[in-house]
Amino acid sequence: MDLRLTDEQRRLRDDAAAFCRSIRPLLETDEEWRRQGMLSDGDSVEVNTALGRAGWIGMSWPAELGGRGLSRLDATLVEEVFGYHWLPLSSYLLSYKTIGAALERFAPPGLRDALLPPIARGELVFCQGFSEPGAGSDLGALTTRAVRRGDSFVVDGQKIWTSSAQLADWIYLAVRTSAEEPKHRGISVLVAPMDTPGIEVRTFPTLGGGVLCEVFLDGVEVPAANLVGELHGGWRVLMYTLDFERITAEKVGGAVWVLDGVEGWLRERGQLDRAARERVARLRGEAAAARLLSLRAADALDREAPASHLSAMAKLAGARLVQRTAAAAVELLGPEGLAEGAAAPVGGRAAGMVRASVGSTVAGGTSEIQQLVIARRGLGLR
């Protein structure tokens, strides 16, 4: 693929940066967001609404679904800009980038047409019910059950690590619909409004800032028409969803912002010595590589080519980049780098990124899982 940006893509990135600057007051009025180590993991109804009104959600969807007909590659370029400007993106990334992509491809036309336009307008937010207390990276071990009763499925079980569930309008659920099939074949995907009776959400704080959620499902009735993809064929839908989730260009953008801030802070104080310049340069090289891996995976998805191993490479590179950038930032800044708050070096983002980076090689599938995907689907190893 040709990775040189076109004039249209450069203008798109410039427009995205201008939008980010225009909504900066929304970010500066909420002190709680300063505790979010990677703000792309954060939530903001106001920012998500602003993104929708400005046409930045659903960019790669056709106009009739509320989109702009751009490519997934274009959207990835924009998401890097959003990450660089530290937008809280959890609702956007879940509702559009991951779940929305699967709904566009696998949802029945009526369901797709009802859900995607309000997502694109920033009016409808999804959360993702995948992980369970006994099924994290091994998603095939999930036990949440959905039993068909007439025109509905009745769902019982528990989900954990559910980002954005505290404010989501709908949930995207991985459920077991057959106990007889092998564990990867008896899974289906359902969607349901969060105000459906029997759904309970509990929040808990995270080391990285903000909250995650547990979702309890007790006799939740979901219309059979809300089945996404084929009955018992949910594994294919889930893997397609993860192909999009694991492209983390927004985290690359956040890491580059921290590197820019650290380099500028050291230069202003005459502390940018050769060792510091070399360390920042190495990390900039890693960031460039991670960025290219994200773009390569997005390009493969645009071409409907196999992308699982490419997305795994992008996710693995991005997670390691965040951890190494965080460690380098606090070491280069010295004791002041451990301070948080607006008055600290780089706005306290270095220390916050250290907190958030602990989970970066676990969330979305551990690094070991990414390496297995790369080995098996990319290199053909067994």
pLDDT in tens, 226-275: 999 999 999 999 999 999 999 999 999 999 999 999 999 999 999 999 99
Nearest residue to 349 (alpha-carbon basis) of 99, 35, 53: 35
Helices (H), 23-135: 24-28, 45-53, 72-84, 90-92, 99-106, 109-120
44: pLDDT confidence band, cut at 50, 70 and 90? confident
Q: What is the pairing mode between strands 170-176 and 126-129?
A: parallel
Q: What is the mean pLDDT of residues 110-133?
A: 97
- Could you tell me which of 287, 290, 184 has the C-alpha nearest to residue 238? 184
Residues in the chain: 382
pTM for the model stands at 0.94
Q: Say whether pLDDT at 37 is over 90.
A: no
Predicted local confidence at residue 285, as pLDDT: 98
CA 58 to CA 52: how far, in whole Å? Answer: 8
Residues 5-20, mean pLDDT to the nearest whole number: 96
Cβ(215)–Cβ(171) below 8 Å? yes
Residue 117 CA to residue 113 CA, distance in Å, equals 7
Mean pLDDT of the chain: 93
Structure tokens at 170: 């709908």
Is the pLDDT confidence value at 220 over 70? Answer: yes
* Integer Cα distance of 324 and 156 in angstroms: 41
- Lowest average pLDDT, out of 9-18, 122-131, 168-177, 341-350, goes to 341-350
List of residues 6+ apart from 150 with CB closer than 8 A: none
Single-letter amino acid, residue 94: L
Q: What is the pLDDT of residue 296?
A: 96
- One-letter amino acid at 372 equals L
pLDDT tens figures, 309-339: 999 999 999 999 999 999 999 999 999 999 9
| Domain over 246-378 is classified CATH 3.60.10.10 | no
How is the chain split into domains, by residue range? 7-124, 128-231, 246-378
CA distance 209 to 42: 8
CB pairs under 8 A, 24+ apart, for 343-348?
345/261, 345/262, 345/265, 346/258, 346/261, 346/262, 346/265, 347/34, 347/261, 348/34
Measure the CA–CA gap between 236 and 226, rounded to whole angstroms.
17
According to DSSP, the β-strands at 187-193 and 126-129 are unpaired
CATH number of 7-124: 1.10.540.10
pLDDT of the residue at 188: 98
Banded pLDDT at 214 (limits 50, 70, 90)? very high
Give 190-206 pLDDT, tens digit per residue: 999 999 999 999 999 98
Contact 309, 373 (CB under 8 A): yes
The percentage of the chain sitting over the pLDDT mark of 70, rounded to a whole number, equals 96
For 218, phi and psi rounded to 5 degrees? -125, 100
Return the CA Rg of the chain: 21
Judge whether 7-124 and 128-231 match in fold: no
End-to-end Cα, the chain, rounded Å: 28
Model confidence band, residue 50 (pLDDT cutoffs 50, 70, 90): very high
DSSP 8-state code for residue 201: E
Q: Give all strands (DSSP E) within the chain, no chain letters.
A: 126-129, 145-149, 152-159, 170-176, 187-193, 199-205, 211-223, 227-228
Q: Mean pLDDT, to the nearest integer, of 128-143?
A: 91
pLDDT for res 29:
61
128-231 CATH choice from 3.40.395.10, 3.40.50.2300, 2.40.110.10, 1.20.1090.10: 2.40.110.10
Question: Does residue 10 or residue 347 have the better pLDDT?
Answer: 10
The pLDDT, as a whole number, for residue 32 is: 55
Is residue 321 within 8 A of residue 290, CB to CB? The reply is yes
Q: Is the pLDDT of residue 97 over 60?
A: yes
